[in-house]
Structure 1
Amino acid sequence: MFSSRGWACRVFCANALVRAGLNVRVIDKRPVKVAAGQADGIQPRTIEVLQSYGLADKVLSQAAFMIMAAFYNPGPNGIECIGRVPDVTAPTARYPYEVTLHQGAIEGIFLDSMKKEGLEVERPIIPVSLQISEDPKALADPHAYPVKVVLKHLDWESGEDTETVRAKFVVGADGAHSWVRKTLGISMDGEQTDFVWGVIDITPSEKTDFPDTRNKSAIHSVNGSCMIIPREGDKIRLYIQLSNKDAVDPETGRVNLHRYDPKRLLDVAKDTFKPFTMDAALDKVEWWTIYQIGQRVASRFTTNERVFIAGDACHTHSPKAGQGMNASMNDTHNLAWKLTHVLRGWADISLLKTYEFERRKYAQDLISFDKTFSALFSEKIGDDSKGHGPTHEEFIGAFQDYGNFSSGVGVHYAPSQIIEPTYQAAASNLIIGQRLLPHVLVRAADAREVNIQDLAPADTRFKLFVFPGEHTQTVAAYLDNSQRFFYKRRDAFDVITILQGTKSTVNYLGVPLVLRSHWTKVLLDDTDITGSRGGRIHERYGIDRFAGALVVVRPDGYVGTVAPLDKLATLDTYFSGFMLSD
């Protein structure tokens, strides 16, 4: 696994793979891990994903929370607040907020998790050549080593400084200027915009009187646009719109960092915030940069399903909507379990084709979203180049309309060998191809409340959520049949049963053993002990209480298919489409 700047998907993927028991090597050309700056915003869906790895609490305990968003427009004396709304407009979000934490801390959480599994990043190393075998038999054999990589150790003072590595698979998580992507000859399709922005991390001084530094704030002024992102502690991040005439070198057409410095960026921001004062000590600036918005997607995400690219290596866009690190992590969250299933011999190697199928379509949707969002944000309210820029109502409307997508909770994978929506009606509100909706249940054995998402950790197994209705014996007989796919590949599955009834009356030991592998795996559709949380999950998911249903949740937390209890044999068809029975 390679990385130089693609730190998020690199450490995320490495952590997921090593936790699954796979042999992984991670290289980075940097001599030390990054300390600050760059990506730091975490969206609601990504928090859910971190929770599935047991890492959400470590992030949330250090992070700054963004719960409200404030909007400012030009007024008679400068900018004025014209409204505040919830930052996250996604009704099904388990975590209805964004959080921010600096890159070094986030990376450290993953590095610590990897270290517990015996894996550390090897530094400073760069790849210098990559070759993929053309032998069809080797490419089709998941146990073969068809990729040859030559690595150069940058800190070796004497002797041979190169090393040849044979690999089964390679993941190029090496940023927007990806060496892996260029080596594979993969093009980036899209365009560069005319919008240029500066970014600076500051700690406002006591002179600052802007009232929304602790909210996400979108400011449109006659001087340009600005966005505030609260950071951990007292810090904030400012995104500042710049004149491309000042920031872009006319000879190269590229952004020239030498044309700006922290003082000049802060001076531009001060003009934007008038009549409010925005002040900070320049000697405490942790990080700054300027960039030109580019929106591009790689023409493909893999070569022969042996070398993959992920994160910024395959999609680039504006950072203001907080998608970069989130998209990157979720790329590798999608890929890691598929690699694990193939390498364990649980799934056919063709499963790996679904990585590009699912994540490239998502990346294209992301670019479409980013084009709309960045244009709305970069144009002056009511005054674009054609004389009719977005109105305030259009801007806030777009902010809220895109909430489901930008939060990550609305990501929807299209039908494929692992997304089978034929019997969607059996769980009409639980959309096949979207992530499992959060909901509170009560554990039958001890009446403890549990969120159903926590019953689907990222442990590489498919989760079978059984809503038996009045057909408990029917489901048990199916799962206990040695001819069924589940029976033949039981180690790839985890069964969780959700019963009707109350915590004061249900005896969970009456459930057949195949439906209760452990006392924690039988839950009730009931409220918690206070009566204020949980209950009515059948109604929430659109499952008939009598007829029941069996919901299949993939290892990445997405609903793969749903089977009515009188059509359980369809599960054999579903799993045999990509899994190996022995």
Structure 2
Amino acid sequence: MPASLARESEIDVLVVGAGPAGLMCANGLAKAGVNIRIIDQRPAKVAAGQADGIQPRTLEVLQSYGLAERLLREGNHMHMAAFYNPSPKGGIVRTGRAPDITAPTARYPFEVTLHQGAIEAIFLDSLASMGVTVGRPIIPTSIELDQNPVTLKDPQSHPIKAVLKHLDAPEGQSDTEVVYAKYLVGADGAHSWVRKSFGITMDGEQTDYIWGVVDMVPDTDLPDIRNKCAIHSDNGSCMVIPREGDMIRLYIQLADADVLDPRTRRVDKARVTPQRLLDVAKKSFKPFRIETSGEIDWWTLYIIGQRVASKFSVHERVFIAGDACHTHSPKAGQGMNASMNDAHNLIWKLTQVLRGWADMSLLKTYEFERRKYAQDLIAFDKKFSALFSGKPRTDDNEDGVSHEEFVEAFQTFGAFTSGIGIHYPPSAIVDPTHQAAARNLVVGQRMLPHVFVRAADAHPVELHDLLPADARFKLLVFTGAPGAAQLARVRALAEDMARPGGALGAHARALDVVAVSAGTKDEVDYTDVPAVFRPHWSRVLVDDTDVVGRTGGGGYEAYGIGLAGALVVVRPDGYVGLVVPFEHHREVDRYFASFMRAP
């Protein structure tokens, strides 16, 4: 090919940015068989530092893609938090300990900490196993979106023209490439080129709080160094995050005099060194000692900014995710988690539209759900940052933050920080009309984990493991109490749902089915369940304990489902979309008909 000619190609989705959001998106789409490209301007992945905390809900999400096991093996598990406040004798004293996460329904009731480079490596290795590599170093130099309404309404058209520049192209070869894409995802960070190219603004403000971050192996006599620590001292605030191996991360609150240029009043990183950050931390730690006997692994400065993009998509063809559409403080451990969950929300919607299963209207729910979440996150972050950065309450400062006030907020916010309490509002894919049919499975929240037992072989199974992120909806049929009368109801239900116009008749390709009986392992045969409700012998469960009585049982009660049974529709991202009693089963047909396309 002559050097003057650009290479051209057509793909389904172009992902710009190979941080956590971009890698999550690329991995999920590739796993679903979507033809993707992912590019990044960095010549190599992150080596150290950056984001490092994975919350309980994100662990459940990664498990649904088959990626949690390695993270759990390599990362540090953080179970407990300790709180230190000013001592009447000077310095600090521990005022209490509490669970790090207040999320009783979490499958993994702890955080996992591991540096971002190692987390990205999990995704990169998964992508490599599917023959996908990140194109680096490559930047987009222009993006055009065809505004023709006919083109935009055709989900299989390629209305996006992206010109890419290869920054390390060999001499004599073209450094330019043209990609025509059906969809584009901008996951290119807080200074997103994609966002700016489409004139999307970031709305919000910057706080006055300045913090330093240091990753190191500590030499200390603080007894809680392997717990998360929130330290409020008269010399400033500090947070300790234990990390993989013997490493910790210190978040250190800085005074203006430490970092601002006195002439410009701007942050001057040249005024700060890792040792200087450690010297500031030492004052907060007194009377405890904090040193490092080795090298500082990574360090940085940041000013807390809390902003949300004015919109998350352009004509449902160009989407932004992660830091490109929301920024906030890192101390609550939400940045990487919010970013990956943006991608998780988008992956299945793009896949269903590309497969021709769903109408393009489904893509509107990405911004509807994730922008509302981002706004809630900013509201939370403002409160949490103010509490954490505020002066502690003392006799001389009665308006300061008390220990009780901080711990109460820490625990109250637990459902939010863990990701367990995320609640999507009503829409075409969230219908709470019949919530009473499964009282504790909140429509719009993620499906609760629970251990059941397989009817075929009495093997205990975590229900979440039967809900993989494979872009298909899951229909959970709680068949109710065993017995001839109830079984007749279940058979009639199966026959009607399998009719040509029924959900299982019209949308079988997009639906997987799991049946759960309220009977025991001794009395239920998996073959009792109608064939349409048992696509495989492993998909029939009973609400009973395992053979030694150690696990399982109580699922119907935990979910708030009666012995008359119920139907639960779980979205491909693991969130409950609909619950109905048997007598309203045609609501399931209407639910899918509102956004799905018949074959």
User: CA offsets, 1:170-225, max 9 Å, x none?
Assistant: 000000111111111011000000000000001013xx111111000000011100
Equivalent residue for 2:377?
366
Equivalent residue for 1:184?
198
| Separation in structure 1 between the aligned mates of residue 456 and residue 273 of structure 2, nearest angstrom | 61
Equivalent residue for 1:195?
209
Counterparts of 1:104-253 in structure 2, within 5 Å, are: 104-158=117-171, 159-205=173-219, 208-249=220-261, 253=265
Equivalent residue for 1:517?
535
Contact 1:474 1:565 in 2 (8 A): no
Equivalent residue for 2:587?
570
**Among candidates 303, 306, 311, match of residue 300 of structure 1:** 311
Equivalent residue for 2:271?
259
**Among candidates 489, 511, 519, match of residue 493 of structure 1:** 511
User: CA offsets, 1:62-86, max 9 Å, x none?
Assistant: 0101100000001113111010000
Contact 2:22 2:187 in 1 (8 A): yes
| Separation in structure 2 between the aligned mates of residue 577 and residue 109 of structure 1, nearest angstrom | 37
| Separation in structure 1 between the aligned mates of residue 98 and residue 503 of structure 2, nearest angstrom | 49
| Separation in structure 1 between the aligned mates of residue 570 and residue 181 of structure 2, nearest angstrom | 30
Equivalent residue for 1:47?
59
**Deviation, structure 1 residue 477:** 1.1
The sequence identity of aligned pairs, in percent, is 62
**Among candidates 90, 113, 123, match of residue 103 of structure 2:** 90
Change beyond 3 A, Cα 1:384–1:35: farther
Could you tell me which amino acid in structure 2 is paired with residue 185 of structure 1? G
- Quote the RMSD (CA, aligned, Å): 1.4
Q: Secondary structure at the match of 2:230?
A: strand
Equivalent residue for 2:483?
none
Could you tell me which amino acid in structure 1 is paired with residue 221 of structure 2? D
Change beyond 3 A, Cα 1:337–1:251: farther
User: Is the deviation greater in 213-222 or in 383-392?
Assistant: 383-392
Contact 1:433 1:558 in 2 (8 A): yes
Equivalent residue for 1:314?
325
Contact 1:3 1:175 in 2 (8 A): no
Equivalent residue for 2:545?
527
Contact 1:468 1:475 in 2 (8 A): no
Q: Secondary structure at the match of 1:450?
A: strand
Could you tell me which amino acid in structure 2 is paired with residue 201 of structure 1? D
**Deviation, structure 1 residue 253:** 4.8
Could you tell me which amino acid in structure 2 is paired with residue 167 of structure 1? A
Unaligned runs of 5+ in 1: none
Contact 2:80 2:97 in 1 (8 A): yes
Unaligned runs of 5+ in 2: 1-13, 481-485
Contact 2:274 2:299 in 1 (8 A): yes
Scaled by the length of structure 2, what TM-score is found?
0.95
Equivalent residue for 1:332?
343
> Is 2:563 aligned against 1:549?
no
Contact 1:153 1:161 in 2 (8 A): yes
Q: Secondary structure at the match of 1:464?
A: strand
User: CA offsets, 1:308-328, max 9 Å, x none?
Assistant: 000000000000000000000
Could you tell me which amino acid in structure 2 is paired with residue 466 of structure 1? V
| Separation in structure 2 between the aligned mates of residue 169 and residue 486 of structure 1, nearest angstrom | 29
Equivalent residue for 1:20?
32
Could you tell me which amino acid in structure 1 is paired with residue 555 of structure 2? I
Contact 1:73 1:81 in 2 (8 A): yes
**Deviation, structure 1 residue 489:** 2.0
**Deviation, structure 1 residue 479:** 2.5
**Deviation, structure 1 residue 472:** 1.4
Equivalent residue for 1:579?
596
**Deviation, structure 1 residue 505:** 2.1
| Separation in structure 2 between the aligned mates of residue 458 and residue 384 of structure 1, nearest angstrom | 54
Q: Secondary structure at the match of 1:574?
A: helix
| Separation in structure 1 between the aligned mates of residue 363 and residue 117 of structure 2, nearest angstrom | 31
**Deviation, structure 1 residue 511:** 1.5
Q: Secondary structure at the match of 1:198?
A: strand
Contact 2:308 2:327 in 1 (8 A): yes
**Deviation, structure 1 residue 335:** 0.2
Q: How many residue pairs were aligned?
A: 577
User: Is the deviation greater in 172-181 or in 533-542?
Assistant: 533-542
Contact 1:20 1:460 in 2 (8 A): yes
Q: Secondary structure at the match of 2:36?
A: coil
**Deviation, structure 1 residue 160:** 1.9
Contact 1:444 1:506 in 2 (8 A): yes
**Deviation, structure 1 residue 2:** 4.3
Counterparts of 1:55-74 in structure 2, within 5 Å, are: 55-74=67-86
Equivalent residue for 1:389?
400
Q: Secondary structure at the match of 1:168?
A: strand
User: CA offsets, 1:269-324, max 9 Å, x none?
Assistant: 1111010000103x511110010000000000011110100000000000000000
Equivalent residue for 1:508?
526
**Deviation, structure 1 residue 510:** 1.9
Could you tell me which amino acid in structure 2 is paired with residue 563 of structure 1? V
**Deviation, structure 1 residue 267:** 0.6
| Separation in structure 2 between the aligned mates of residue 428 and residue 504 of structure 1, nearest angstrom | 28
Contact 2:85 2:233 in 1 (8 A): yes
Q: Secondary structure at the match of 1:131?
A: strand
Q: Secondary structure at the match of 1:331?
A: helix
Could you tell me which amino acid in structure 2 is paired with residue 235 of structure 1? M
**Among candidates 278, 290, 296, match of residue 301 of structure 2:** 290
| Separation in structure 1 between the aligned mates of residue 517 and residue 580 of structure 2, nearest angstrom | 17
Contact 2:518 2:556 in 1 (8 A): no
